[in-house]
Structure 1
Amino acid sequence: MTKVCVMGLGYVGLPTASLLANRAFKVHGVDVNPRIVELIGQGKVHITEPDLDVLVRAAVNSGNLTVGLEPISADVFMIAVPTPFKDNHVPDISYVEAATRKIAPYVAAGNLVILESTSPVGTTEKIASWLQELRPELDVEGSVYIAHCPERVLPGQTLKELVVNDRVVGGINSAAAEKAAEFYRQFVTGEVLCTLARTAELAKLAENAFRDVNIAFANELSLICDKLDIDVWELIRLANRHPRVNILQPGPGVGGHCIAVDPWFIVDSAPEEARLIRTAREVNDSKPEFVVAKVKEVAAKFKEPKIACLGLSYKADIDDLRESPALKVVEKLLAENLGYIFVVEPHLRTLPLCLKNQENLALVNLDQAVHQCDILVLLVSHREFSTLNFNLIKEKILLDIVGTFNP
């Protein structure tokens, strides 16, 4: 298992491919975007992750990492493509199917096919059925090993966590699970745990739903405290003095491709049973509307308010905008036409496409925003924002949605 073909060179696929290549695996990465393929082929990166640029450059220069638009023959095929949902929260696994159809001509007896994308329960079994349909001469369940091993990485810590985190490996049968576990044990120092594919799929979804429910509890508390005129930050600090209570911090909502998406996969699979999970999603998805309402309330005090929105990414100290509640807040404020919007996002050089060419909006640095605005809305707790000088904003209104400046 030394030749690996990685389908999808995004936030998980590229770090995995470059890590393996630097561990002496022969890796071929595949992406549908020609620009991404060209960049990586030059030893460059299209995403921000600490030390990833160094690792990719070393992998390409060593000759162990090649890239292209089409797969090649390999011992191991890893699928790391997006698994979004459609407008009605129905999971979209079309990218997984497309990747499976791409690799089908190259899969041979003895090969290992791994789905790393977080997916609805049953997706790994669908890969097996698609392969069997496309390659009827192969005994897919007997001679090809098909498994699911969901990534568990934290953006900003991806390269470390790909190695040290425990991994759950689920096969379509026990032989596939053991084969996949054997592969991961070559570069993972954490424990590799074997199970069946459906259990591994639900395990990853359950991990993210657990976090989503706990965040929703904190966000709902913030709504209750606002209604009852109670300081939510003080409330949580006091409640957390109980030895068995650990309430999380509220914010503008929940973002990222995992926590904001994966619970809907559970709801789709078991809609009558997943009542709490559905409600948590609805609470977190509604939080940007609450933030906008608070901004509207204070903006009414000004004839032509200038509003500085601090942060666009979905969490602190990264550039990832996927499902970002902060971005949704800015979009909603623009739609309300409340005034002039200054956006401060230290991890971006240009505005995302959804905000480009918008009137009454500019991407500025923190100093410019502070000097020109009437209202500051702190949406993401980037480290840079913690240095905000209170002497400069004492005449301005601060809405600290993430609690950075609350004692």
Structure 2
Amino acid sequence: MKITVVGLGYIGLPTAILFAKYGNTVTGVDLSPIMTENLNMGHLHIEEPGLEEDLKQALALGNFHASTVPVSADAYIIAVPTPNKDDLYKSCDTAYIESALASIMPHLKKNDTIIVESTIAPRTMADVVQPMIENAGFTVGEDIYLAHCPERVLPGNIMHELVHNPRIIGGITAKCTEKAAAVYGAFVEGEIIKAEAGEAELSKLMENTYRDVNIALANELAKISNHLEIDALRVIEMANKHPRVNLHQPGPGVGGHCLAVDPYFVIAAAPEQSPLMQTARAVNNSMPAHVVSQVKSLMAEQDGNRVTIFGLTYKGNIDDTRESPAMEIKDMLIKSGFDVKAFDPHVASEILTGEEACEDSSLLLVLSDHSEFREIPASYTDQMRTPILFDTKNMVQTVSDDVTYLNYGNLHTKKQAISI
């Protein structure tokens, strides 16, 4: 099968490589000539375990080629960004999807399948994609088969989950669903869930909205507990002993192209029917300012002005800083007049070592749960003017005895925890 994948980001590239690895002839399309040239030489632009090895295998087999322009194929997969618009409810911007569709239009022929993997607002397939295809003279469900197949993978484990996770296939018609399911049958070993396009669109959005709402509850609890001088983390631990309770963990906010973006697509589609989702977004959006407020309180007692940030990505063990609350906190601290140094072993642009970032610092602020931060070496904290650590991710397990360790559980005490 010949497959053209438009968009070679965190989802499109792994998808393209897996199709090629499993014996299909794949052309991966991206607008960046530097990126495509590097990919054809076996060099990646993103960090994902196992991806580099699979890329080199696909190249060795001759099954993958990166290009800046689409080529004719049997199936087209669109995996381009869908950012928020700058409007009242931050609705879904489909400009990149429309551009991708326009780029493949000259190559379309009868019996081709078009699959949109990009996360999209409800009714995008019916109201945006289908009309573009029909305006080109095709009958959807007879000439061209359209489906939405949202990705649902965890960065850091994408190559495994793309193969083994259940896959939702939402076609415009039942025939469209069957055609798209046959495409993914090339490598997906998980359950194939057949659905209508609108169901697939909304199910993906609700997966992330569910998590956003639950994180907002935990974040609000952290604020309440700090105000009442109660250990929020202990409260969560005890509440989760209930067999039907699963409170999430508080943090510095949520980021990435899922939790920080997707709920708005639902909100924009039904603003009067989504007050809970809107409140959850407001709570999570408030967390960077809350963290900065706590930093100001802690720093008011110090004679130094330097704050060290550990971690700039929105989650641990990846290099993705999209919508990252850590980046927002960094900018807010700088604007507040603090001398900010950052250390992130996963972000190529950050060149400081842990020791260099901690030098003469009065506060160490952990904002990403990288595995490298589970143990904070004494060689780092020994460089600090005042060894205070505020762990917003509650993930640090080992730190020197002379370090004042604070998290959302004991932040209100401003005292060193007994143990971590």
- SS of 1:372's equivalent in the other structure is coil
386-395 or 138-147: which moved more? 386-395
Partner of 2:132: 130
Q: Which amino acid aligns with 1:79?
A: I
Partner of 2:145: 145
397-406 or 46-55: which moved more? 397-406
Offset, 1:163: 0.3
Partner of 2:32: 33
Partner of 1:4: 3
Q: Which amino acid aligns with 1:49?
A: E
Offset, 1:303: 4.0
Offset, 1:181: 1.0
Name the CA distance, whole Å, in 2 between partners of 1:394 and 1:191. 55
Over the matched positions of the two proteins, sequence identity in percent amounts to 42
- Pairing 1:273–2:273 present: yes
Q: Which amino acid aligns with 2:344?
A: E
Partner of 1:365: 353
- Pairing 1:404–2:403 present: no
Partner of 1:354: none
Name the CA distance, whole Å, in 2 between partners of 1:250 and 1:317. 18
Offset, 1:371: 4.2
Offset, 1:376: 0.9
Q: Which amino acid aligns with 1:308?
A: T
Name the CA distance, whole Å, in 1 between partners of 2:251 and 2:353. 22
148-157 or 376-385: which moved more? 376-385
Partner of 1:355: none
Partner of 1:375: 363
- Pairing 1:295–2:295 present: yes
Let me know the Cα RMSD of the aligned residues.
Answer: 1.5
Offset, 1:155: 0.4
Name the CA distance, whole Å, in 1 between partners of 2:129 and 2:40. 29
- 1:380-399 alignment, distance < 5 Å: 380-389=368-377, 392=382, 395-399=386-390
Name the CA distance, whole Å, in 2 between partners of 1:57 and 1:83. 29
Q: Which amino acid aligns with 1:399?
A: F
Partner of 2:335: 335
Offset, 1:395: 4.5
**Structure 1 stretches lacking a partner, 5+ long:** 352-362
Name the CA distance, whole Å, in 1 between partners of 2:102 and 2:279. 36
Name the CA distance, whole Å, in 1 between partners of 2:357 and 2:86. 34
- 1:76-87 alignment, distance < 5 Å: 76-87=75-86
1:205-244 Cα offsets, whole Å, 9 max, x none, are 0111011111111111011111111121122122222222
Name the CA distance, whole Å, in 1 between partners of 2:92 and 2:348. 32
Name the CA distance, whole Å, in 2 between partners of 1:188 and 1:140. 25
Partner of 2:19: 20
Offset, 1:174: 0.7
218-227 or 85-94: which moved more? 85-94
Partner of 1:168: 168
Name the CA distance, whole Å, in 1 between partners of 2:203 and 2:233. 32
Q: Which amino acid aligns with 2:185?
A: R
- 1:3-402 alignment, distance < 5 Å: 3-88=2-87, 89-125=90-126, 126-133=128-135, 135-136=136-137, 138-338=138-338, 340-351=339-350, 363-389=351-377, 392=382, 395-402=386-393
Give the TM-score of the pair, scaled to structure 2: 0.90
- SS of 1:272's equivalent in the other structure is helix
Give the TM-score of the pair, scaled to structure 1: 0.93
Query: How many residues get paired?
Result: 392
Conserved? CA contact 2:362–2:385, under 8 Å? no
119-128 or 6-15: which moved more? 119-128
- SS of 2:97's equivalent in the other structure is helix
Conserved? CA contact 2:304–2:385, under 8 Å? no
Name the CA distance, whole Å, in 2 between partners of 1:368 and 1:13. 36
Offset, 1:176: 0.2
Q: Which amino acid aligns with 1:171?
A: G
Name the CA distance, whole Å, in 1 between partners of 2:231 and 2:389. 15
